[in-house]
Amino acid sequence: MPRPELQRKHKINEEITASELRVVDEEGGQMGVLSRRDALQAARDREMDLVLIAPQAVPPVCKIIDYGKFSYEQQKREKAQKKAQHQKELKEIRLRAGTDTHDLDFKTRHAKEFLEQGHKVKATVFFRGREIVHQDLGRELLQKFIDGLVEVSKVDQDMRTEGRVLSVTLAPDVKKEKKKDKPQRPVEPTGDSQ
C-alpha cells in the first residue's frame, strides 16, 4: 500500500525541508519570511497545516490552511473541469450510390444535429459490384450532402476514394454558428417622407 505522503501533490508540515519560508496565512495575508520551526509553530497555533505551495520560489512559499479541505476543493475543481470538457466524436453517415432524396434529407438532418453538438461527421458512399464504375453519382450525392450542411459546417477532409468507398469529413464551423446567433438589427425607416 503506497504511503499517503507519496500520493499528495504538496508537501505538508514536517515534509517541508527548507530552512526559511515565505508564509501566507489562511486569509491570504503575508506573514513574511519565517524559519521553518516558526512557520510550523504558527500553523500548529491555528490548528491547521503548513502547505508548500510554490517550492520553486526563493524562499519557498507556504500557506497555512486546512489541507483536507484544500485537497477536497481542488479535487472538486478538477472534476468540474473534466466534466466541462466536451468529448468530441466522429459520427459516420452511410450512403449508397442510389440513395433517394428523401433519405438524403433525413440523413442530412441527423448530420446537422451532430454538427450542432460539436461532433465531426464523416459521410461515406459505398459502391457494390458494378456501382464502382459510376463514382460520379457518389460524388454528386456527397456534394448535395455538403451543400445541405453549408450553413453549419466546413469541409475538414475533401472527398477521397478508398477502395469501394468514397468519403468526405465535415467539421462544425464555429464562425458560421456565431454569425447565425447574432440577432439581425431591424432596418429603421428614415424620416425623409413628406
**pLDDT value of position 189:** 56
Contact 12, 51 (CB under 8 A): yes
Contacts of 62 (CB under 8 A, 6+ apart): 16, 21, 22, 23, 24, 39, 50, 51, 52, 53
3-state SS, residue 130:
helix
Contact 62, 22 (CB under 8 A): yes
pTM: 0.49
**pLDDT value of position 172:** 87
Q: For 144-166, what is the mean pLDDT? A: 88
Assigned CATH for 90-181: 3.30.110.10
For the chain, the structural domain boundaries read 16-67, 90-181
The domain 16-67 having CATH identifier 3.10.20.80: the answer here is yes
